[in-house]
Amino acid sequence: MGWIINFVFASLIAAFSFTASAETFERIELDKDRTSVQYAGPIKSITKALEGYRWLGQTEDMNGGVVFEPYVNTRFGKNDTETGGAIMVKATYYLYDEPVKEALMIARQSEIPGFVEFYGYDSRELQLHIRMVDDNTFQAFASDDEYRKPEKLMTYKKVEQFNKSNYKSQLKTPEEDGTWF
């Protein structure tokens, strides 16, 4: 009889943990011209938590990550400019431990509640909708349309350094492979 109770209890715990992990997200309509200033509190708390750390995406064997750095917006507070109401960060994207893209990003309230949107100053297609899970983890969607697909939610962990490429050591210099130009 005791094993039946243990089995039922274990089944309930498993079912509860499955339903808890199947999180659903919604979207709200916000003004397309909203600025960072309107939602400065949540934006600044997330940017401060992100800045200066290496964030490795999804799993430990993923080969890339991102580093956010503070960016001083010299036009901040000047309403006559496009970036006058913008809190900005510089994002450097990595493949293994090599930087591959640097982007100036504007932060504003995301249309996914609980998230902050970072979009590229030069290219609005470059987006990350981020929420902090704890001091060492954030989750992100790559666009505001992905909220319908919880499997698209990416998890980033704070790391000391990014993974090193296994292929770098296999590359030979021109002298080593006998090629001279």
- Residue ranges in the chain whose pLDDT is less than 70: 1-22, 58-62, 77, 80-82, 167-181
Question: In terms of pTM, does the model score above 0.85?
Answer: no
* 51 lies in some domain: yes
Distance CA 52, CA 36 (A): 20
Residue 136 lies in a domain: yes
Residue 56 lies in a domain: yes
- Give the type of residue at 172: K
68 within a domain of the structure (yes/no): yes
What pLDDT score was predicted for residue 11? 47
| Per-residue model confidence (pLDDT) at position 31 | 84
Give the structural domain span for 120: 30-163
Domain count within the chain: 1
pLDDT at 40 (0 to 100): 87
Rounded Cα distance, 181 and 179, in Å? 7
Rounded alpha-carbon distances, angstroms, from residue 12 to 17, 22, 53, 138 = 9, 16, 39, 29
| Average pLDDT value over all residues in the chain | 80
Q: Closest Cα to residue 40, out of 103, 91, 104, 88?
A: 88
In CATH, what number is assigned to the domain containing residue 36?
Answer: 2.40.128.640
Query: Is residue 19 situated within a structural domain?
Result: no
